Amino acid sequence: MYLCRTKINPSKYEIYIYLTILLTFCCSCTGQKNTEVTINNPEKPLTFKMVTPPEILTQPLDRAAYLVEHYWDNFDFSDFRYTKAPEVTEQAFVDYLDILPIPAYEVSSKSIQRMLQKAEVDSGMFSYFTGLYEKYLYDPNSPFRNEEFYIPVLEVMLASPIIDDVKKNPSSLSTGTGPKKSDR
């Protein structure tokens, strides 16, 4: 007597159907979880949007001066996440340094000062950018080294309420152009 001697031997088609159902179920659960994360954490992607000079400016020096003066107009200095995204922020900063020497020094100097004053909205952001200026304009190994452009940075740092008086001490500056090597 054999009640149920039939050996269960599913066909390939049945296995395919079971796997499809299982995968569909697993994927739908995972998709719901990701949707919740997106809803609970709706952060905008970090990008840098460069300004475009008006078409009326046709001379290269005028266009460069406009770019330098308005380069940081679209940047959100209050979003600290930019300090953790060097692929966006540091690259934009290097591109800025690349065009700084083109217009007159006064234009570039004022632009540097205005940019750092905007960065004072957040002490971390201010510290991040002053560090970038030191790295690129004051470091002797930097291809962008330019002590003249570093002077406006120091002027803003000395006037800034963010930096405490100990760091503003003139004895920590070497002839008004930057920190001594022994202070680093």
Q: What is the pTM of this model?
A: 0.68
Name, in order, each residue with C-beta under 8 angstroms of 98's C-beta and a sequence gap of 6 or more: 144
Over 60: is that where the pLDDT of 33 sits? Answer: no
Name, in order, each residue with C-beta under 8 angstroms of 64's C-beta and a sequence gap of 6 or more: 99, 102, 103
Give residue 41's pLDDT band: very low, low, confident or very high (50, 70, 90).
very low
Q: Which residues pair with 179 in a beta bridge?
A: 173
DSSP 55: T
Mean pLDDT of the chain: 78
Q: What is the pLDDT of residues 113-156, one digit of tens each?
A: 999 999 999 999 999 999 999 999 999 999 999 999 999 999 99
Name, in order, each residue with C-beta under 8 angstroms of 52's C-beta and a sequence gap of 6 or more: none
Structure token pair of residue 8: 């269960």
